[in-house]
A and B are shown apart, each in its own frame.
Chain A
């Protein structure tokens, strides 16, 4: 099934576009997503190039599976050098543009250079145009999307757009699709802004047909029954990812007050079930997906449903992180971040850091433009997010840098309150509860990420449960009884499942639908999907190797600019004791973490002193050229 892949190269400086073919053998080794993106970056740019310079590459990629009418297959990856972390950058988005980009015939769209004035890129298969975006510059994402639709009246298109935050180079600016989906993490929107690129616009296309339609039907024809039989999927379909607030809070592991605690009073006000009962208008979907997990909320006169609704991470970062239990404030923050084009995780977490600094007297009203930044003041979000988006002098410009860089201006006491790795703020899963994530957050090549390995509870699942059975298809693990355990077994779990998640970010799969534990479809289903969808006879071993190759390419990209073991670290707050709702205390130790890190490097075939892959590992993966 492997044919040559088509790559579209767009040089904004020269205002030219050309296509190149990637041979089938290479395509199979780097079959899409950020594996293909990293391959193209390593071949095409100097890793030391500044993230916001014309030399940086901004790459939109899909995979051979993208665009098929199957749940969880409409994802598009953006790969670039991140201005937030200074490392390889990576972020995924769902919705409809992934499917239509794939149907346009391109595996990747590679943007280089910088336009001398604002532009947007229009793609209709072979017809590629760099169009003037002077009128669009300065618009919010919804305004720009509507203006593009007016300009291209009569054409049905899908767009990925930056808002003022991307234009103003906010370090964690996002690229927004459908006003409600985001390539959120790693500041990809700032890279787009640095290139004077306002939007990627793709004309809607006829979708490709699967290789074996009847075979595919045997895998996916009973999707509704399959959802009904999986309680996690039932709740994901009913409440979206926000159901995690309920589950984490019940146990006392909802990051609260900038990670000082695992619970806040009145967390129920921000729970997924509460959202469903109060402000949820409807559930939306991505192309071809039966799960329909995307929440759309409405608060009359305040929150517009066109901006979707808050996911779990947003409920947490603008909720418990900030000690805020006002759901309306969370929904409004979500809307403003989507309007201005800002990552809700880094934004909410950076505000939470500022709030703790304010409570402790490290920041004063002089630093906050007079805004009262006490924990719980969700009413501050509106003003703060706008100041950040426009990099207004004072608190806006400060927080637009992200918490790690902002803290440097206020000394060690402020730096000790930062909860980030490689400069990227931590997502809302506590490592005291899920210690494998301590390893994953530390080693992950683009900063802390909760969607880069499976989470620890799978190792505590009953043996007849898919949560136990599926990970054990990848490698044999030891059963774990209780939280807080970080050992060799957990390090192995971190590495093995990280490879699987890395492969999913290569094949552009939704990690709520496809995965190695609790999801709708598991590893064996994925083998069948590849066969029926594309004719690709693959194996778990090949898929795991594809995932590992992506990890090692990112690692090598970073190593070329000095990243290594010293950067695979935990913030101080990760070592705080956390008492759960049953009164049990959980705490990681620095020694235990370092030992687990040694184990991880050993499993990965990386040098334990430097954290860099060995020559043998590069050779095993066909990466000698690095």
Chain B
């Protein structure tokens, strides 16, 4: 299925959870927004990605 990740159209497996998506990209602890709503880490394992979702993945390392 097709989703948008950081504005780029990307093919991902159906039924993928947010946790699995992040792990597949090598960033299991990154912050993630799905259709504008940010998920808490506790939700990563249960939130299933849907076709057409607009996803933002952000890994903030430092700053302030």
- Chain A interface (Cβ within 8 Å of chain B)? 231-232, 234-236, 241, 243-244, 246-248, 250-252, 268, 271, 273, 311-313, 316, 427-429, 450-451, 454-455, 457-458, 460-463, 465, 467, 483, 511-512, 517-518, 580-583
Interface assignment of B2: CB less than 8 Å from any CB of chain A:
no
Interface assignment of B10: CB less than 8 Å from any CB of chain A:
no
Task: Known A-B contacts: A316-B64, A428-B64, A461-B27. Give 13 more (CB < 8 A).
Answer: A231-B59, A232-B59, A234-B6, A235-B58, A241-B64, A248-B60, A250-B38, A273-B38, A312-B64, A451-B62, A580-B41, A581-B41, A583-B42
**Is the CB–CB distance between A427 and B64 below 8 Å?**
yes
Within 8 A of A (CB), among B34-61: 38-42, 44, 56-61
Bound together, the chains give a CA A581 to CA B41 distance in angstroms of 6
**Is the CB–CB distance between B64 and A451 below 8 Å?**
yes
Specify which of B31, B44, B58, B64 is in contact with A311 (CB 8 Å cutoff).
B64
- Chain B interface (Cβ within 8 Å of chain A)? 6, 25-27, 29, 31-32, 38-42, 44, 56-64
Q: Which residue of B lies closest to A263 (CB)?
A: B40
Q: Which residue of B lies closest to A459 (CB)?
A: B61
Bound together, the chains give a CA A429 to CA B41 distance in angstroms of 18
Q: Which residue of B lies closest to A501 (CB)?
A: B62
Q: Using Cβ atoms and an 8 Å threshold, which residues of chain A touch B39?
A: 250
Bound together, the chains give a CA A251 to CA B61 distance in angstroms of 13
Specify which of A231, A467, A581 is in contact with B40 (CB 8 Å cutoff).
A581
| Nearest CB on A from B37, distance (A) | 10
| Nearest CB on A from B33, distance (A) | 8
Q: Using Cβ atoms and an 8 Å threshold, which residues of chain B touch A465?
A: 26
Specify which of B56, B59, B63 is in contact with A512 (CB 8 Å cutoff).
B63
**Is the CB–CB distance between A517 and B63 below 8 Å?**
no
**Is the CB–CB distance between B64 and A232 below 8 Å?**
no
Q: Using Cβ atoms and an 8 Å threshold, which residues of chain A touch B6?
A: 231, 234
Specify which of B27, B58, B61 is in contact with A462 (CB 8 Å cutoff).
B27
Specify which of B29, B44, B59, B64 is in contact with A429 (CB 8 Å cutoff).
B64
Q: Using Cβ atoms and an 8 Å threshold, which residues of chain A touch B57?
A: 231
Q: Using Cβ atoms and an 8 Å threshold, which residues of chain B touch A271?
A: 38
Q: Which residue of A lies closest to B56 (CB)?
A: A231
24 residue pairs of the A-B complex, CB under 8 angstroms, read A231-B58, A232-B59, A234-B6, A241-B63, A241-B64, A243-B60, A247-B31, A250-B40, A271-B38, A311-B64, A455-B61, A457-B59, A457-B61, A461-B27, A461-B59, A462-B27, A463-B26, A467-B59, A511-B62, A517-B62, A518-B60, A581-B42, A582-B41, A583-B42
Q: Using Cβ atoms and an 8 Å threshold, which residues of chain B touch A273?
A: 38
Bound together, the chains give a CA A583 to CA B25 distance in angstroms of 23
**Is the CB–CB distance between A232 and B42 below 8 Å?**
no
Bound together, the chains give a CA A554 to CA B63 distance in angstroms of 23
Bound together, the chains give a CA A505 to CA B49 distance in angstroms of 43
| Nearest CB on A from B11, distance (A) | 18
Bound together, the chains give a CA A483 to CA B29 distance in angstroms of 10
Bound together, the chains give a CA A231 to CA B38 distance in angstroms of 16
Specify which of B25, B42, B44, B58 is in contact with A243 (CB 8 Å cutoff).
B58
With A231-B6, A246-B31, A582-B44 known to touch, is A462 a contact of B25 (CB < 8 Å)?
Answer: yes
**Is the CB–CB distance between B62 and A450 below 8 Å?**
yes
Q: Using Cβ atoms and an 8 Å threshold, which residues of chain B touch A511?
A: 62-63
| Nearest CB on A from B21, distance (A) | 14
Q: Using Cβ atoms and an 8 Å threshold, which residues of chain B touch A268?
A: 38
